[in-house]
Structure 1
Amino acid sequence: MSTLHWAGLLLLAVIAGAVVPFQSAINANLSRGLGHPLWATLASLLVSIAVLLPVIIALRLPLPSLGFISKAPLWMWAGGAFGVCFIALALMLLPKLGASGFIALALSGQVVASLALDHFGLFGLVERHLTLPKLLGAAMLIAGVVLIQFSTSPARALLPDP
């Protein structure tokens, strides 16, 4: 894989992460308007379907194999449930923790879970053993979460005096 291709993949991963706080903040406002986080979760998922279906049709993707659908292990369908869990929890927690606090905490959970998934090669992933540098990186991320979430310095301290 060329360096340019690899850089493009890294950029796309950063973009994927960057849209999450926007999605969470927008959905938190939708939640207030609709009266409950679960209604906003449903609305978000329905909009996802409405956006995704035309793309699938435009790309003329073939229908999935019914044989696979009927024989796939139950854990393969859990992704949708995890998506509902993330969206609903984001809607409930983002207003209380702030965007940076919620995303930092969610990211630390993602990193810790990802290290376990990679280390044990769970759900068909290639085993990527846990190493000391990976553990140090996770620890530094969690230290960053503590600084972001539990800092008591006033926000104005970062702004220049008028």
Structure 2
Amino acid sequence: MFLLFCLAILTGAANPIQTAANSKLRFQLGSPFLASLINCSVGVSCLILANLIQGKFSLPQDVFSSTPLWAWSGGLMGVFILVIAIVLMNYLGGLKTVLITMTGMILTGIVLDHFAL
């Protein structure tokens, strides 16, 4: 359990660092969408490699028919989160961006847990 808490803290620490890096990339490229595309492309490359190393690179046959439509929206939400964080970082700075987005995460987590969603 201690290791999981440490991983959660490390993940939290990575969030503002990632946003700062993406914000710098946005400044260099002149577009939050292009910076996000590069970010996601690097992420996809890492995930392909991880799946190849794990040896699991195929989907179950019924994955498309058995998975609810809303479950596929994670990628779209990920892009939304990434682009908005890049834009907010330039206007609000690192601390405010992280605190405000964390407030949204906490409130949403409370609602999801309360209603067992």
TM over 0.5, shorter chain: yes
Structure 2 residue 8 is matched with structure 1 residue 13:
yes
Aligned to 2:25: 30
Higher relative CO (Cα under 8 Å, sequence separation at least 6) belongs to: 2
Structure 2 CA distance, aligned partners of 1:85 and 1:75? Answer: 15
Aligned counterparts, 1:110-129, within 5 A: 110-122=105-117
Across the aligned residues of Structure 1 and Structure 2, the Cα RMSD in angstroms comes to 1.0
TM-score, reference length from structure 1: 0.69
- 2:44 counterpart (24, 46, 49): 49
Structure 2 residue 98 is matched with structure 1 residue 103:
yes
1:11-35 C-alpha deviation (Å, 9 max, x unpaired): 1111111101011000001111111
Which structure has greater helix proportion? 2
Task: Give ranges in structure 1 of 5+ residues lacking alignment.
Answer: 1-5, 123-162
1:65-108 C-alpha deviation (Å, 9 max, x unpaired): 13122331111011111110110001101011110110010101
SS of 1:64's equivalent in the other structure is: coil
AA matched with 2:66: K
Structure 1 residues 35 and 13: alpha-carbon distance in aligned structure 2, compared to 1, 3 A threshold? same
1:37-87 C-alpha deviation (Å, 9 max, x unpaired): 011111111110011111110111251213122331111011111110110
Structure 2 CA distance, aligned partners of 1:68 and 1:111? Answer: 30
Aligned structure 1 segments of 4 or more residues deviating by more than 6 angstroms: none
Kindly name which structure, 1 or 2, has the bigger radius of gyration based on alpha carbons: 1
Structure 2 CA distance, aligned partners of 1:66 and 1:85? Answer: 29
AA matched with 1:105: I
Aligned to 2:83: 88
- 1:70 counterpart (57, 61, 65): 65
AA matched with 2:68: P
Give me the identity figure in percent.
Answer: 31
SS of 2:62's equivalent in the other structure is: helix
Structure 1 CA distance, aligned partners of 2:57 and 2:81? Answer: 29
